[in-house]
């Protein structure tokens, strides 16, 4: 009886561990228990973090801060823009085009949610 | 047998997955913090705050030039030093609060630690030079040491900040070795003027 109960516990534990892993590797940002894939990617997380520390940043400043190439940055910034986490304004400074990025309220909330999630993961491991 | 099996499974499972998750979460948080720190080092003291410091220095230079005694002259400049520190401290604190990061983490600490040693040295030398009656050498020494602090503090910031520091050092050296203008004019033009010029550039180029 006791053995069976122990087995059951193990099975349950394995299942929840699996669930946690799934939360990290995939899933939509809708559920509070799943990780936001949009900002889980390193470069996009960097863009969001850099913008969280500034009112706005130009394309070149962002490129310098997250240490990436023009192409990479524009692809990932576009993805964040499409999901409404980042807003982008294009203007001209004399003849040179200037692209300025800002974090939207949704983007800031997403970052906060992500940080909470990471802290919860760490807290759960500590309590074991 | 079964219980032995279940124990071995849990023993295998425990170190496998959870620490990996834990480490990744820690690493992600560290990355967020480092990126935010690097990004906010861009303008630890906002450009227009430097303009305000420059303007206060102009006023101080005017007041200092109209003092009858050397002691009163020194008093005006000491008051100006405190006012500048309060302006800088207040703006950095405001910015840190807005971003939700503690003032003395990251950029705030870098600026404070790189500026305070030359400022302490400057305070001690002020006493020495004042007692020795070498009052004319004091403004040049201030600029020299202030510039040194700005160069080292600005190493982590945008490249215009160390350039500003170099300009302070040059102004200080000129004041010490080629005293063409009075100490008050030197302070008005260098401490006042350079802060206004570079503050405006930083505010316009880096926003804030």
**Number of separate domains in chain B:** 1
- Which phi and psi (to 5°) does residue B180 adopt? -80, -30
In a domain, B65, yes or no: yes
Structural domain containing residue B79? 44-206
In a domain, B11, yes or no: no
The string of pLDDT tens digits covering residues A87-127 is 999 988 788 888 889 999 999 999 999 999 998 888 887 77
Mean predicted confidence (pLDDT) in B130-151: 94
- Tell whether ipTM is more than 0.90: no
- Residue B28 CA, chain-centre distance (Å), reads 29
What's the pLDDT at A29?
A: 46
3-class SS of residue A100: strand
Residues of B in contact with A56 (CB under 8 A): 207
Which chain B residues in 45-104 lie under 8 Å from chain A, judged by CB atoms?
99, 101
Residues of A in contact with B26 (CB under 8 A): 118, 122
B9 shares contact with chain A (CB less than 8 Å):
yes
The string of pLDDT tens digits covering residues B76-94 is 999 999 999 999 888 877 7
Contact partners, residue A60, CB within 8 Å, separation at least 6:
none
Domain boundaries of chain A, sorted by first residue: 13-127
**Long-range CB contact pairs, A28-33, < 8 A, 24+:** A29/A110, A29/A113, A32/A113
Residues of A in contact with B37 (CB under 8 A): 53
Task: Specify which residues B143 forms β-bridges with.
Answer: none
Check whether domain A13-127 has CATH 3.40.50.2300, yes or no: no
A123 shares contact with chain B (CB less than 8 Å):
no
Q: Decide: pTM greater than 0.90.
A: no
């Amino acid at each position: 009886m006791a053995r069976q109960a122990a087995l059951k516990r193990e099975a349950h534990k394995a299942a929840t561990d699996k669930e946690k892993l799934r939360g990290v590797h995939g899933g939509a940002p809708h559920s509070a228990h799943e990780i936001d894939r949009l900002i889980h990617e390193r470069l996009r997380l960097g863009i969001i973090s850099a913008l969280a520390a500034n009112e706005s940043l130009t394309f070149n400043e962002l490129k310098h801060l997250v240490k990436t190439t023009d192409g990479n940055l524009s692809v990932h910034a576009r993805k964040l823009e499409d999901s409404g986490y980042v807003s982008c304004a294009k203007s001209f400074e004399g003849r040179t085009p200037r692209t300025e990025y800002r974090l939207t309220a949704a983007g800031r909330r997403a970052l906060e949610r992500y940080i909470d999630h990471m802290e919860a993961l760490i807290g759960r491991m500590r309590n074991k | 047998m079964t219980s032995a099996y279940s124990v071995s499974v849990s023993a295998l499972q425990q170190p496998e997955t959870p620490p990996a998750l834990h480490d990744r979460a820690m690493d992600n948080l560290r990355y967020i913090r480092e990126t935010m720190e690097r990004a906010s080092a861009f303008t630890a003291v906002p450009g227009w705050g430097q303009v305000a410091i420059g303007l206060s220095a102009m006023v101080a230079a005017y007041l200092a030039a109209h003092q009858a005694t050397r002691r009163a002259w020194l008093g005006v400049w000491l008051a100006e030093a405190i006012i500048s520190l309060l302006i800088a401290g207040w703006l950095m604190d405001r910015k840190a609060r807005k971003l939700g990061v503690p003032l003395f983490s990251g950029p705030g600490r870098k600026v404070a630690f790189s500026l305070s040693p030359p400022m302490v040295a400057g305070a001690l030398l002020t006493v020495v030079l004042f007692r020795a009656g070498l009052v004319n050498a004091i403004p040049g020494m201030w600029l020299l040491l202030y510039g040194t602090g700005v160069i080292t503090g600005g190493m982590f910031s945008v490249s215009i900040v160390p350039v500003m520091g170099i300009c302070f050092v040059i102004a200080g050296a000129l004041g010490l070795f080629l005293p063409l203008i009075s100490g008050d004019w030197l302070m008005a033009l260098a401490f006042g003027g350079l802060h206004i010029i570079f503050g405006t550039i930083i505010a316009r180029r880096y926003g804030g």
